[in-house]
Chain A
Amino acid sequence: MNFLQYEFVQNALLSGLLLSIIAGIIGSLIVVKRDTFLIGGISHASFGGLGLFYFLGLNPILGAFTVAFLSGSLIGASKEEKLHENNALIGVVWAFGMAVGIIFITLTPGFAPNLLTYLFGDILTVRDQEIVWMLIFTLILLLSVFLFYKPFIVYLLDPEFAALQGIKIRIYRLFYYLFISTTIVLMIRSVGIILVLALLTIPPLIILPFCKRLWVILLMSVVLCLFMFTAGFTIAFYTHLPTGPVIIVTGTLLLFIVRLLSCLLRKRNS
């Protein structure tokens, strides 16, 4: 394991560990709440902010965060029933964000940056400062889960009943979307805007059919995410392929194999 001695490898593995904890928890919630499409919309729309900030000469990641944060808060403040009616609109925002992002980046004078880094990410470019942000967010997330897991489940399950029991569901919704926005932004550099969705959804999808309890899904998703990261990263390192896509392909293959095996086992048992 001599490649571990490089600092960028250590950074990559450390951010892989932190992002696995974040993605495992947030991704599970997104999947059980069936908000995948919505989150896809937010993450792709954030590319618009990225492009705008790049054009203005500001930090592009901050631009992505601003748009993700704003759209997250906007969604958090609107009515739940309405959101699911507006699927087509989410599709428009999705494409609009991407289009605006690319237009701004093209308009920017000078050398165009490598778009692929933002779209598909590269975990080898993660810097120390970003790892500190990931660490802070991981701690906040873990503390929130520890303190508010129970009322949050009631909110997920049955918002009306939750409201009747005195749970401030608006606050829970707001934090849910804020945490998602933050997650998306933290993951842009390592896996990219296009692949964020896959990393969030693949682990819980693998484990969902086998679990009756949400906390087991959260925990197992973190473990699976970590596996995807390390396996994908190792393969990418030795094959000189881009890490983000290799991580996602590894995860998707795992999902496919697990589903296939469970299908075969079920047939054999019946």
Chain B
Amino acid sequence: MTPEIIDVSKLCFSFDKKHPVLSEIDLPVHENDYLVIMGPNGGGKTTLLKCMLGLLKPDSGSVTYRGISTLDIGYVPQFTTFDRHLPIRVYEFIETGFISSYHPIKNRKRVDRNMIEHQIDRFALNAVAYSSISAISGGELQRTLLVRALVRNPKILFLDEPTTFIDPESRGNLSSLLKELNRTTAIVMITHDTSAIDDHVKNIACINRKLYYHGREERIQDSLEKVYGCPIELIGHGLPHRVLKEHK
């Protein structure tokens, strides 16, 4: 078993202290893990992610980082969390990935341009590098966000609903990109899109207030139905089989 880099233990969270959004969550993230956290809208996925990132403070329980710090985390947020209409070009947007090493006097310009250009190449963003972020397609914006998260070589990459606003072709590309990245980086992806679970995913957790954790080999059908509360159809790209269950 690879060592744990993040350990979520007995985590509870509520916005109003009355209605728990997350209850007694235990969740390990391993080195080079590819963990997908799924569940219906409103099930607490994003809240859990924010707790794991330290953006929200849990009511009780803990999130422990082992051998990593917040700066080793790459974060690809949902499109809706940031202001797409702000006048900024793709290149400068990616540069903001280095902001943590900015200092107003001592260090004004340390940005690894080679790294940025390498990643722009790798993710085929050359054509739009000097376009405004409001003028590019959903797939391009997704890759821009990914590049911004990757320029500092994170040890773990968090993705929040990465498939929501992109077309099927970009989804396929994203899937193979993530597979490649997973060789060196742990990946934690949250999604309500069951088709995002493909062959490369190593562990799956289903969440709807409570969390059900599965290793990859396990059948996840039952617990998915438990959290969604209805029959669920799982279709994966490149999976050796499809699991389809008749609707009652």
Contact = CB atoms under 8 A, between A and B. Distances in A.
Interface of A: 32-34, 147-148, 150-151, 153-154, 156-158, 160-167, 208, 211-214, 217
A211 B73 contact: no
Given A150-B96, A151-B99, A213-B89, 7 more contacts: A32-B85, A147-B104, A154-B96, A157-B88, A157-B93, A158-B82, A214-B86
A158 B104 contact: no
Nearest to B81: A160
Contacts of B77: 158, 160-161
B105 A164 contact: no
A212 B81 CA distance: 21
Contact of A164 (B53, B87, B131): B53
Given A154-B96, A157-B96, A166-B100, A32 B75 contact: no
B89 A212 contact: yes
Given A147-B104, A164-B55, A158 B87 contact: no
Contact of B87 (A165, A167, A214): A214
A162 B82 CA distance: 11
Given A147-B105, A148-B104, A161-B82, A213 B70 contact: no
The 10 residue pairs across chains A and B that have the minimum distance between CB atoms: A158-B82, A147-B104, A165-B100, A212-B132, A154-B96, A154-B99, A165-B99, A214-B87, A157-B86, A166-B100
B181 interface: no
A156 B70 contact: no
Contact of B75 (A148, A161, A167, A214): A161
Contacts of B86: 32, 153, 156-157, 214
B246 interface: no
A159 to B, nearest CB: 8
Given A151-B102, A213-B89, A213-B92, A156 B73 contact: no
Contact of B71 (A32, A162, A166, A211): A166
B169 interface: no
A211 B134 CA distance: 12
A164 B99 contact: no
Interface of B: 50, 53-55, 70-71, 73, 75, 77, 81-83, 85-89, 92-93, 96, 99-100, 102, 104-105, 108, 130-132
B117 to A, nearest CB: 19
Contacts of A157: 82-83, 86, 88, 93, 96
Given A212-B132, A213-B92, A162 B99 contact: yes
Contacts of A148: 104
A153 B99 CA distance: 10
A30 to B, nearest CB: 13
A166 B72 CA distance: 12
Contacts of B108: 150
Contacts of A154: 96, 99
Contacts of A150: 96, 99, 102, 108
A33 B99 CA distance: 20
Contacts of A162: 99
Contacts of A151: 99, 102
Nearest to B90: A212
B72 to A, nearest CB: 11
A32 B83 CA distance: 9
A153 B96 CA distance: 8
A149 B185 CA distance: 31
B248 to A, nearest CB: 40
Nearest to A212: B132
6 contacts: A33-B83, A147-B105, A158-B82, A160-B81, A164-B55, A213-B92
A166 B77 CA distance: 16
A212 B87 contact: yes
A199 B89 CA distance: 27
Given A32-B87, A151-B102, A164 B75 contact: yes
B92 to A, nearest CB: 7
A222 to B, nearest CB: 16
